[in-house]
Copies of this chain bind each other. A is one copy, B any other.
């Protein structure tokens, strides 16, 4: 039985803790750390039978009984805590991004290289979504031949505050980073260059804060294949998360999920439900699967489903995209 420590008891930290309680029989959350720890979080953790509840994540890092940590703290602490956890010999599940700074990500990769027995993964949850997995499987099984174009539609239901947008590293680092990973995942390829056509169409305050809220991002992949992502921070019908992969023999296409497939047919037309509202609804099962499969990889000492390099690669594309948006020119990645 693996002992797990959760660092960061915000929304996603709680989701992962609950998933482990519900679905994982080979591991147990034994400690949780969060600098804020409101009473309700303490009560929630007690109800789940978590023994150690602390404000200091060092209490987890320094606990020799803990085998694995989930880093769900604020983004600017991810690389530092990763380094501490690796130094303490713990396996690490780190929420994205590892860092906004490439040097600091490389420091984590170097630390990992020195401890090959440790498993490390980045929380690219969408790779565990049933629909995207089915696309990837179709590609891997040769159903569409050689990949020629990946198209990702990714639109959030509602924009964050302009303050958040600015602080987050910008839309490409905060939001598109998942889509960049999806392009790598679905194509099985590296991105060579990127061109961004950005816009501020949703909230002028986001523009004033120096960020964008809408974009079309075109990419050239290493093989010469193409990729394109369209993003918006606002989507009236919910969370739009679709992908299409075109190849020499056909295409693999996935759509949104809704709460039911029921339709009403009436004088007003044929009406079905909107897509599920946001990531917690759409990816709830994916969040569980990503944690389950990482723990499985630790338990069985098998390769992790998403490696640390994926965390670097997506950030490198996001940096190039940010530069392209600012200069109006295509930018080579890396």
Which residues of A are at the interface with B, using a C-beta cutoff of 8 A? 21-23, 25, 47, 130-131, 133-135, 138, 143-146, 148-149, 151, 155, 195, 197, 199-202, 214-216, 218-220, 224-228, 230, 232, 234-237, 240, 246-275, 328-330
CA A274 to CA B248, docked complex, whole Å = 16
Indicate if the CB atoms of A274 and B269 lie closer than 8 Å: yes
Which 9 A-B pairs give the minimum distances between C-beta atoms? A250-B266, A134-B262, A134-B260, A237-B265, A22-B22, A197-B218, A130-B260, A254-B262, A236-B250
Q: Chain B residues near A200 (CB, 8 Å)?
A: 224
CA A268 to CA B268, docked complex, whole Å = 12
Q: Chain B residues near A236 (CB, 8 Å)?
A: 144-145, 247-251, 265-267
Indicate if the CB atoms of A266 and B249 lie closer than 8 Å: yes
Indicate if the CB atoms of B254 and A266 lie closer than 8 Å: no
CA A168 to CA B148, docked complex, whole Å = 24
Indicate if the CB atoms of B226 and A199 lie closer than 8 Å: yes
CA A135 to CA B261, docked complex, whole Å = 10
Q: Chain B residues near A265 (CB, 8 Å)?
A: 236-237, 250-253, 274-275
Count identical subunits in the complex. 4
Among B25, B133, B226, B230, contact of A149 (Cβ-Cβ < 8 Å): B230
CA A265 to CA B215, docked complex, whole Å = 20
Q: Chain B residues near A255 (CB, 8 Å)?
A: 261
Indicate if the CB atoms of A225 and B201 lie closer than 8 Å: yes
> Do A144 and B228 contact each other (CB < 8 Å), given the known contacts A25-B47, A133-B260, A259-B134?
no
Indicate if the CB atoms of A267 and B274 lie closer than 8 Å: yes
Excluding A199-B225, A253-B264, 19 further A-B contacts by CB distance (< 8 Å) are: A21-B22, A131-B262, A135-B262, A146-B201, A148-B232, A151-B230, A195-B197, A197-B226, A216-B226, A218-B228, A234-B248, A236-B247, A236-B248, A237-B251, A249-B267, A254-B263, A265-B274, A270-B272, A329-B330
